Amino acid sequence: MLAADALPPRFSDWFAARGWAPRAHQLAMVEKGRQGRDALLIAPTGGGKTLAGFLPSLIELSERPPRNTPAGVHTLYVSPLKALAVDIERNLATPIREMGLKVVAESRTGDTGEARKARQRLRPPDILLTTPEQLALFCAWEGAREYFADLSCVIVDEAHAMWLNKRGDLLALGLARLQLFSPKMRRVGLSATVDDPDLVRRWLGHHDKGPPPVGEAMRSVGGGSPPSPQTPPSVDLRSTPPPQGEVLISTDHTVDLVLGSGGAQPIVEVLVSGGKVPWAGHTAEHAMAEVYEIIKASKTALVFVNTRFQAEFAFQELWKLNDDGLAIALHHGSLAAEQRRKVEAAMARGEIRAVVCTSTLDMGIDWGDVDLVIQLAAPKGASRMVQRIGRANHRLDEPSRAILVPASRFEMLECRAAADAILGGHLDGEPARTGALDVLAQHVMGLACSEPFALTDLYDEIRAAGPYADLAWEDFETVVDFVSTGGYALKSYDKFRRIVPGQDGLWRARNAQTVLRHRMNVGTIVTAAMVNVRVGGGKRPMGGRKVGEAEEGFFESMKPGDTFIFAGQVWRFNSLVGTDAFVSPAPDKDPMMPSWGGSKFPLSTYLASRVRAMMHDETEWAALPADVQEWLGYQKLRSIMPTEDELLLETFPHGKRFHLVFYSFEGRLAHTTLAMLLTRRLDRLGIGPLGFVANDYAVNIWSLKSMEDLDLDALFAQDMLGDDLEAWLNESFLMKRAFKACALISGLIERRHPGEEKSGRQVTFSTDLIYDVLRRHQPDHLLLRCARADAATGSLDVARLGDMLARVQGKIRHAALDRVSPFAVPIMLEIGRERAPGDAAGEMILAEAEEDLIAEAMS
């Protein structure tokens, strides 16, 4: 491929004037554009990825002959973040201006003013930058077909963050619709890290002729070996790197893969603060002083944590140490948008030394000055860590630098495994995704609002979207019936249908009011209901300054007078009025709310298996700190060190109770589910289980009677995922929560109604009532199926649990001990920590208990 003639003179001159040479992957993308091929570009941040995505469109637009009629949208750019769409609008302005192109690029998000939106509808910009929710709105608009008739290209940015959830389902459906309006439309995906490119290609692609088999052999063009096509447990991208700008064409995929250069090898270190690793914990509090010194020695550091609570905690701790007055900022999803923008702007100006942040900064706007990424507590997955490391040093040729700070001993093993995986270029495998039916219901209603459809045509259109490629006709019919009449066995709503078939056989929305109601609620995707956190007190608080937003549940258990940390400060909770929580500053108070909420990411399957392997292979121990080596050594001596494919289960008495502890490394969600189900079984066996704790690594169940003589294979039999799970789930709040989300997304209940008056007192009519009634009278209803599927994947990790139960059958190694084992210490210590006592006496009791426990295990 030759650079010189690949670009029109105006473009190559512009590159030259900037002192740049076009990168191979940029030219490859231009070539894809010329050939009219769909393409997924995977390139590290800082590699000119965005420009590579837009270059083909800019060239096409610059070569467009002048015409009299106004053209429609040429290129649609879809970003997961509103802020990113606005940022790209600004970044595109430079090449457009400097090359003197007659191209209009404008953003359109939920924040765009009505006047601009109306103008955009009349005079479409050449390039429209928007979000999946706005695209869903377009799909529900009568003018959509005409508006997108000239559409030539759709660019999906941060594709890795888009595809694996309900938003991705909705976007894939939107793309299928756009393809219908403009058959020549090309799809382009941009991504920094992809766990498995084949799965993203399948999601992004147009499945015209039915579903393609995934993971089939690929043909490589122009030499180089293809990446490994197999999915789990890991995808090896780096061990067989194709040359820079290499293009791989699959015989089965409609989306070509373009790989950018790998960039410099990142430098990843694991910090062992003071040579010691704590027994248990989640906050890495012990290492804070050293983390502070590292921040001081670097230019700009991103300090990643896994939850909002950890972010608040680390921010407080760092400021306690901040004698130098370093500009250390806080950034997470609950902070008010303007506060986040302020931090981002200060970052861009290079005024910030460190930002403590959650996944909100995993992607998005580029900052050149970040030279260090710190991960506090284990990263839980190699792919996420690679993505986070990519945030440092956006100059491609310099290595990114990252420091992992483990908060406990098992985390030490996990961090070591993650660092090895990153250096070896191994990423976590992700499961393939099947499109959610509640999302499909929302989409079908939207299409009916836009224009009439025929059932069979719609079925084909939907199956052209990757996540729905295997949609069964029966499920499709069920969804259409749900959209129309609610899908009830009792056919009493036939006369109130929301969508109706006409005499021409085409389905359309019932009336204008139905359309209006749908448009007001479209795009409602799974975000938890949020309340505004405002400054204000007293009996009749008035709307004061907004500090941020928090999930509905956050304040539900608080009493007025309770204190908590939020946005880096201590607040007193005053009252919850409607959707506003009123608080006042309480700088002198200690926060009473426990500042730890657990990791929201489960440990990846791939890292878990590496940790198991590392424990068994003593040659790997040398890379670990002395106290961790000693700990592993004592475990081998006192209990058993299992092989990689065994499940170690220990039973021992402690105090007046008997414990059963096993180390399955399947993540907190799967472990909690498993513990619930085992507890039910133990109860039936008359063991009298009293309680359990579960973390990412292990489960600890305690009871009144010894569990030493149980038939363990029977206890872990896979049939617990049948009736036991069903029975437990039906009563579980997890199902109710999942049902509420599905009910909102599918349009069964609505968040907003047109012209709804605000009555003084709201009688709450909760989805729990609907759930209970539906469960008793039609347990196989579509939305209960959706909720069950969501709870099984999202909150319970049932699939992973099933894999584990199958794996450990016949491989349970039982160690019947007379006292606590070294491995059991961390999870024994968590027993008291589930509910943080928060007062000095409680802390002392805990500290004493901790000392006794450690002495018992190590003596």
Partner 1 sequence: MSSLSFKISDCGGLKIEVFGTRATLRHSGALWLEGARAMVVADLHFEKGSSYAARFGQMLPPYDTRETLDRLERELAALNPATLIFLGDSFHDGAGEDRLPADDRARIAALALGRDLVWAVGNHDADGPRALPGAVVDEAAIGGLAFRHEPLPGAQPGEVAGHLHPAARVTSGRASVRRRCFVTDGTRLVLPAFGAFTGGLNILDAAFAPLFGTPPLAAALGRGRVHAVGWKSLRPD
Residue 634 CB: number of other CB atoms within 10 A?
17
The CB-of-52 to partner 1 minimum distance in angstroms stands at 46
Choosing from 569, 640, 778, 785, the residue that interacts with partner 1 (CB under 8 A) is: 778
Lay out the sheet containing 657-663: strands in order across: 689-694, 699-703, 657-663, 647-654, 812-816
Q: Tell me the number of residues near partner 1 by CB under 8 A.
A: 39
CA distances, 678 to each of 672, 712, 802 (Å): 10, 11, 14
Residue 572 to residue 175: CA distance in whole angstroms: 47
- CB-wise, 361 or 480, nearer to partner 1? 480
Decide whether 25 or 781 has the Cβ nearer to partner 1.
781
Name the minimum Å distance from CB 266 to partner 1.
41
Q: Is 551 in the site for partner 1 (CB under 8 A)?
A: no
Could you tell me the smallest distance in angstroms from the CB atom of residue 528 to partner 1?
A: 17
Question: Residue 691 CB, nearest distance to partner 1 (Å)?
Answer: 15
**CA atoms of 550 and 597, how far apart (whole Å):** 14
Strand residue runs (E) in 552-663 = 563-566, 569-577, 580-585, 647-654, 657-663
Q: Toward partner 1, which CB reaches closer, 512 or 840?
A: 512
Instruction: Output the CA–CA distances (angstroms, integers) from residue 243 to 360, 399, 531, in the order listed.
Output: 33, 19, 50
Nearest residue (CB) to partner 1, 421 versus 748 = 748
- C-alpha–C-alpha distance, residues 46 and 366, integer Å: 8
| Residue placing its CB nearer to partner 1 in the complex, 57 or 524 | 524
Among 90, 753, 811, 819, binds partner 1 (CB under 8 A): 753
Q: Is 773 in the site for partner 1 (CB under 8 A)?
A: yes
759 binds partner 1 (CB under 8 A): no
Please identify, among the stretches 413-421, 689-697, 718-726, 746-754, the one whose residues bind partner 1 according to the rule CB under 8 A. Answer: 746-754
Which C-beta is closer to partner 1: that of 216 or that of 552? 552
Q: Please identify, using beta-carbon distances, which residue of 521 and 643 lies nearer to partner 1.
A: 521
The amino acid at 46: G
**Smallest distance, partner 1 to C-beta of residue 497, A:** 8
How near is the Cβ of 82 to partner 1 at its closest, in Å? 29
737: Cα separation from own chain's centroid: 18
> Considering only residues 822-841, where is the footprint of partner 1 by CB under 8 A?
835
- Angle formed by the axes of helices 473-485 and 455-463, nearest 10°: 120
Query: Cα(360)–Cα(448) distance, rounded to whole angstroms?
Result: 35
| Cβ atoms of residues 660 and 694 within 8 Å | no
Min CB(419)–partner 1 separation in Å: 37
556 is an interface residue for partner 1 by CB under 8 A: yes
Q: Is 777 in the site for partner 1 (CB under 8 A)?
A: yes
Burial class (CB in 10 A: 0-12, 13-18, 19+), 716: buried
Q: In the complex, what is the shortest distance from the CB of residue 576 to partner 1, in angstroms, rounded to a whole number?
A: 7
Give the residue with the Cβ less far from partner 1, 495 or 656: 495
Interior angle at CA 480, CA 477 and CA 481, nearest 5: 85
Q: Is the C-alpha dihedral spanning 67, 70, 71, 76 positive or negative? A: positive
The reply on whether position 765 binds partner 1 by CB under 8 A is yes
Q: How far apart are CA 55 and CA 75, in angstroms?
A: 11
283 or 485: whose CB is closer to partner 1? 485
Instruction: Note if the bond before 399 is cis, omega within 30 degrees.
Output: no
Pairing relation of β-strands 247-250 and 218-220?
Answer: antiparallel
Minimum Å distance from CB 400 to partner 1?
A: 41
421 or 533: CB nearest partner 1 = 533
Candidates 235, 316, 325; CA nearest to 283 is 316
Phi/psi of residue 472, nearest 5 degrees: -80, 145
- Binders in 486-525 for partner 1, by CB under 8 A: 486-488, 490, 492-493, 496-498, 510, 513-514, 517
| From candidates 63, 588, 776, 840, binder to partner 1 by CB under 8 A | 776
According to DSSP H, which parts of 372-436 are helical? 382-389, 409-424
By beta-carbon proximity to partner 1, the closer residue of 309 and 367 is 309
Contact stretch for partner 1 (CB under 8 A) within 287-295, 481-489, 807-815, 818-826: 481-489
Phi, psi (deg, nearest 5) at residue 104: -105, 120
The residue among 706 and 778 lying less far from partner 1, judged by its C-beta, is 778
Site for partner 1 in 640-679 (CB under 8 A): none
d(CA 539, CA 536): 10
Binding site for partner 1 (CB under 8 A): 482, 485-488, 490, 492-493, 496-498, 510, 513-514, 517, 556-557, 559, 575-576, 748-750, 753, 761, 763-766, 769-770, 772-774, 776-778, 781, 835
